[in-house]
Amino acid sequence: MVCIVGKKKSGKTTTVLKLVAELRQRGHRVMTIKHGHHFDLDRQGTDSFRHRVDGGAERVVLAGPGQFAVLGTWPRGEEESPAELAARYLADADIVVVEGFKGERLPKIEIFRRAAHDAPVWDPDDPTADDYIAGISDDPGYARRTPFTTLDADDPGLAATLADLVETRVMGRVEAP
């Protein structure tokens, strides 16, 4: 698993999409987890909504040709970690790319754009500071402040470089492509 972290509107989703596409092109089975806030995928009036709300089901699996979804609530209102989610739902992945969850103890790649924010997420005093394996930025000063590999956010070969990094640092590939 690898987390793509950054502040709102920094380019996390764009980075995830490019990384996933590149890893899939290389033959990997890639799955993702996206940390969301205040969303509702189920609407009043649908059968699945009625299963949960009217019937009281804790979780409902919607299944159809070629796709499925799990809807429900967390026990005691708590949220599961990306590792728990991946173990339960994504165990057959070669790699799980996680968007968000910056407080988790997983390998992290930060995207920091100076135009969007004054300061990065990475903080040398944070307990998860050692989890960062790379940063992506359009700010030359970012590389001087961080102890990890920093990639140019505007590099046209960024997706390939990121995939190389994930394959070697996270997935354990030893040889160069």
At 151-170, the pLDDT tens digits run 999 999 999 999 999 999 99
Beta strands in the chain (DSSP E): 2-5, 30-34, 59-64, 67-72, 95-99, 108-112, 132-137, 149-152
Distance CA 31, CA 33 (A): 7
Sign of the dihedral through C-alpha 85, 105, 143, 119: positive
Determine, yes or no, domain membership for 45.
Answer: no
pLDDT band at 131 (very low <50, low <70, confident <90, very high): very high
Give the position of tokens 């070669």: 94
SS3 134: strand
Q: What's the mean pLDDT when you consider all of the chain?
A: 90
User: Number of folded domains in the chain?
Assistant: 1
Q: Is residue 177 part of a domain?
A: no
What is the mean predicted confidence (pLDDT) over 132-157?
A: 94
Q: Is residue 75 part of a domain?
A: no
112, part of any domain: yes
- List, for residues 43-98, the tens digit of each pLDDT value: 888 888 888 888 888 788 888 899 888 877 777 767 888 999 999 889 999 999 99
What are the start-end ranges of the H helices in the chain? 12-25, 47-49, 82-89, 140-145, 158-169
**Residue 85 falls inside a structural domain:** yes
pLDDT: which is higher, 99 or 73: 99
Find the helix packing angle between 12-25 and 158-169, rounded to 10°: 70
- What is the span of the domain harbouring residue 114? 2-37+80-169
Q: Is residue 63 part of a domain?
A: no
The answer to whether position 175 is within a domain reads: no
Residues 62 and 48 sit within 8 Å (Cβ to Cβ): yes
CATH number, domain with residue 124: 3.40.50.300
Residue 42 lies in a domain: no
**C-alpha span between 34 and 97 (Å, rounded):** 9
SS3 85: helix
Per-residue pLDDT, 38? 65
Average pLDDT over residues 168-177: 78
